[in-house]
Amino acid sequence: MTNCKKCNSKLPAKRVQLGYRECVKCSEVEGYGCVDIVYHKTGNTVQVVSKQEAASINKYSRKRFGTVLKGGSKSTTYNPKGIVKGCSTSFVGSDESYERVGAMMMDLLDAKGFDTASRYIDKQVENFIIRSTQAFKLKQLLNNVTQL
């Protein structure tokens, strides 16, 4: 058994086999984290990344639909056809309907592709199921997911 080159404590044989010459306590090698990759309802996996990246990604992935948004569109507004400016839509876009539309959008993306999912979002705004601000977020998500 070999000793740690910094603190002289004994190193486990497996650690020596892996090429390490320092104990875990003295090591300056950054630890690893992981991120769940959800393809759909089945067939999921994990991606090994740095601890810092994993913490950041996992923090944001808990927000909506289990998906991380990276980058983003330069556009800051979304105006679908058929919405009358100045029309009150305060009854539109509950959290439940937003979640439901987002989940359906992801299912449509998997089953029928980008265009069908995009048209579905437009239709939900036209039917006053979700607000245009929610549709904008869903469109950003859709664009980012298809760019991965």
Give pLDDT tens digits for 58-110.
777 665 554 444 444 444 444 444 444 444 444 567 888 888 899 999 989 88
Contact 80, 134 (CB under 8 A): no
Residues 76 and 104 reside in one and the same domain: yes
pLDDT at 24: 85
% of the chain beyond a pLDDT of 90: 14
What beta strand segments (E) does the chain contain? 32-37, 45-50
**Which residue type occupies 141?**
L
Tokens coding 70:
């990276």
Contact 125, 83 (CB under 8 A): yes
pLDDT at 127: 82
| Residue of higher predicted confidence among 111 and 47 | 111
pLDDT at 89: 42
Range of the domain at 1: 1-29
Question: Residue 124 above 80 pLDDT?
Answer: yes
Indicate the range of 2-11, 53-62, 67-76 predicted with least confidence. Answer: 67-76
User: 69, 72, 33, 38: which is closest to 52 by C-alpha?
Assistant: 33
Residues 95 and 43 reside in one and the same domain: no
Residues 83 and 139 reside in one and the same domain: yes
Number of domains composing the chain: 3
